[in-house]
């Protein structure tokens, strides 16, 4: 397939063309960031060991870990599906929208060019403006939805930071109860300082995760008890989840900027057409690189389809 990311429009004034290469890169970054968050959310939910009969002093720590498990599910069950909609699904649906409305506009242009002096009727002008207004309304809805997800991510990050602080205090409690706890905690943290998870992604919002067998063996070799291992896992896994949420926020912001730029382009075109009359309207309509934009959106949608359907590896 020909990549139109570098094709130049006939005029910069009414260009709907965008940087396809950068759009693909930012979309891939958002996808990868989402996968990383999912991997660490699943680790919080599944990989922190439970104590079958915790001592009474440990019950509050166990409750804190359970709270973190519940928080991790919010990403899997709510935020990730919402993010997937505003980052990936919308590109595929908008590609269909701009193909449909763009084809209508180009058909109207063909009709106008066959009319005396290429003068548009009032009905033709109204139809063209309605099509561009529709595209603007779709983008406005996307931007509103993306703002909502960004707010969810911000609140989620704040919740994780608070829970991480509580788990930090819990490690102080662990140190107070076991003579060797400080040594155990330092060693476990050391083994968890590099890539300690192996995972198999099932789409961006689901994964099977395990601690690497080599890391698990090293941790078991420290002699640490289950109370200490569970508390350190909670602290470290929540920290990793929180750090990756920040990357997801940045990736979403890049896509929000992309949509905002495209909205400004369409609004500029619509305003120019709205203010023009007669042959000037036709000349502006001819100058718009609509076909290039339609092709680019089709290519971006195909990229998203391939990205989200391929087996996910490397996480």
pLDDT of res. 313: 54
pLDDT of res. 3: 47
pLDDT of res. 194: 84
pLDDT of res. 310: 65
Q: Tell me which residues of the chain have a pLDDT lower than 50.
A: 1-12
Cα(42)–Cα(202) distance, rounded to whole angstroms?
12
pLDDT of res. 200: 87
The hierarchical CATH code for the domain 13-49+58-309 is 1.20.1170.10
pLDDT of res. 77: 96
Taking only the tens place, the pLDDT of each residue in 220-262 is 999 999 999 999 999 999 999 999 999 999 999 999 999 999 9
Taking only the tens place, the pLDDT of each residue in 57-71 is 999 999 999 999 999
């Amino acid at each position: 397939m020909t990549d139109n990311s570098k094709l130049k429009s006939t005029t910069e004034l009414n260009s709907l063309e965008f940087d396809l290469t950068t759009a693909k890169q930012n979309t891939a970054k958002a996808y990868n960031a989402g996968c990383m968050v999912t991997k660490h959310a699943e680790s919080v939910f599944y990989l922190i060991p439970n104590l079958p009969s915790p001592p009474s002093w440990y019950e509050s720590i166990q409750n804190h870990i359970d709270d973190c498990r519940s928080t991790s599910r919010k990403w899997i069950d709510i935020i990730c599906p919402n993010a997937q909609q505003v980052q990936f699904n919308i590109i595929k649906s908008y590609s269909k929208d701009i193909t449909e409305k763009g084809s209508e506009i180009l058909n109207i242009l063909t009709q106008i060019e066959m009319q005396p002096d290429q003068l548009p009727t009032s009905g033709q002008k109204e139809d063209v403006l309605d099509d561009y207004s529709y595209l603007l309304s779709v983008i406005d809805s996307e931007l509103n939805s993306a703002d909502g997800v960004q707010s969810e991510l911000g609140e989620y990050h704040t919740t994780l930071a608070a829970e991480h602080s509580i788990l930090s205090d819990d490690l102080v409690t662990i140190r107070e109860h076991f003579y060797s706890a400080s040594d155990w905690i330092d060693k476990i943290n050391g083994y968890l300082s590099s890539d300690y998870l192996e995972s198999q992604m099932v789409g961006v919002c689901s994964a099977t995760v395990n601690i690497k067998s080599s890391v698990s063996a090293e941790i078991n070799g420290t002699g640490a008890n289950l109370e200490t291992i569970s508390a350190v896992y909670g602290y470290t896994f929540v920290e990793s989840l929180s750090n990756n949420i920040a990357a997801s926020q940045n990736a979403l912001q890049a896509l929000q900027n992309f949509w905002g730029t495209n909205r400004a382009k369409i609004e500029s075109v619509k305003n120019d057409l709205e203010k023009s009359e007669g042959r000037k309207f036709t000349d502006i309509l001819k100058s718009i690189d609509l076909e290039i934009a339609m092709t680019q959106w089709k290519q971006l949608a195909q990229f998203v389809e391939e990205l989200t359907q391929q087996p996910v590896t490397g996480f």
